[in-house]
Amino acid sequence: MGIRRSVRRAVFLDRDGVLNAALLDAKGGPVPPRTKAEFAMLPGVAEACAALRQAGFLLIGCTNQPDIARGTTPREFVDWVNQSVMAAAGLDEMRVCPHDDADQCHCRKPKPGMLTDAAAQHGIDLSRSWMVGDRWRDCAAGTAAGCKTLFINRGYAERGPELKPHAVVTGLPEAAAIILKDSP
């Protein structure tokens, strides 16, 4: 019996700021929507995801939601946002880390746990997969998992990725075009 080779490819997608709009706090940093009225999908997301799916990629959302652990956002609302995003974008799955940094879990980005767990479950070849995010944590998780990374620069008042991503883009439609061009 030989070693089973992972053959599936995936695009891992951060949620807030990649699929749906992130809000800005008083310091210019991104925060997730807190009410249904604040929730909005970003333009071109559905079409970009459809093109990636058509090319054979699994689409897996990977989102840190520490406000669950902090008690500032109910899990039910996070689940509602996740279900709304999955339906609008046509994702295969949404993985959620409900922990804060102090919890030291393996799934909170910049650690690669959400990506590596999904790879093990779905037979994903991480070296042929991509992580798309709008924060340094997303790119660091993708790099640690062995994926190519794309950084969506939203101009947040925070540091960018420490390791150079494959490319810096303005949104998911541009990211999808790069993935499709670079992934035969």
Question: Given pLDDT bands bounded at 50, 70 and 90, which one contains residue 4?
Answer: low
Q: How confident is the model at residue 3, as a pLDDT?
A: 52
Q: What sign has the CA pseudo-torsion 96, 52, 133, 127?
A: positive
In the predicted model, is pLDDT for residue 2 greater than 80?
no
Tell me: pLDDT of 7 over 90. Answer: no
Residue at token pair 């035969």: 184
pLDDT category of residue 69 using cuts at 50, 70 and 90: very high
Domains belonging to the chain, first-starting first, are: 9-182 (3.40.50.1000)
- Report the run of H or E that residue 94 belongs to, with start and end: strand 93-97
Selecting among 16, 67, 134, 138, the annotated active-site residue is: 16
73, 76, 80, 85: CA torsion to nearest 10: 60
- Residues 183, 6, 13, 112: is their CA dihedral positive or negative? negative
Say if residues 143 and 149 touch (Cβ distance below 8 Å). Answer: yes
Q: Does residue 67 carry a catalytic annotation?
A: no
pLDDT at site 184 = 74
Determine which one of 14, 67, 134, 138 is catalytic: 14
Q: Residue 80 has what pLDDT?
A: 98
Q: Is 138 a catalytic residue?
A: no
User: Mean pLDDT throughout 116-140?
Assistant: 97
What pLDDT shows up at residue 5?
59
Residue with tokens 């339906």: 87
| pTM passes above 0.85 | yes
User: How do strand 30-31 and strand 23-24 relate by DSSP bridges?
Assistant: antiparallel
Q: How many CA atoms lie within 13 A of 150 on its CB side?
A: 24
In the chain, % of residues over pLDDT 70:
97
Q: Each residue of 85-121: b (16+ CB within 10 Å) or e?
A: bbeebebeebbbbbbbeeeeeebbbbbbbbbbebbee
The mean of the pLDDT values for the chain is 95
Regarding beta strands 93-97 and 23-24, do their DSSP bridges make them parallel or antiparallel, or are they unpaired? unpaired
pLDDT tens-digit map of 71-113: 999 999 999 999 999 999 999 999 999 999 899 999 999 999 9
- CA gap 121, 105 in Å, rounded: 19
Q: Which two tokens stand for residue 73?
A: 């956002």
